[in-house]
Homo-oligomer: A and B are copies of this chain.
Amino acid sequence: MVDLETSTEKRILEAARKIFIQKGFSGGRMQDIANEAGINKALLHYYYRNKETLFEVILSDSLRNMLPRVSEIFDGEGSLQDKIRAFVNAYLSFMIEDPSLPLFILNTLHSQSNRSISSKFQEIVGQLPYGKFRDEITAAVNKGVIRPIDPIQLILNTLSLCLFPFLAKPAFLMVSHLSEASYKQMLLKRKADVADFIIDALRPE
Contacts and interface: CB of A to CB of B under 8 A. Distances in A.
B174 A118 contact: yes
Chain A interface: which size bin?
35 or more
A200 to B, nearest CB: 5
Interface in A151-204: 152-153, 156-157, 159-161, 163-165, 167-172, 174-176, 186, 189-190, 193-194, 197-198, 200-203
Nearest to A100: B110
How many copies are assembled? Answer: 2
A8 interface: no
Interface of A: 22-27, 100, 103, 105-107, 109-111, 113, 118, 121-122, 125-126, 130, 147, 149-150, 152-153, 156-157, 159-161, 163-165, 167-172, 174-176, 186, 189-190, 193-194, 197-198, 200-203
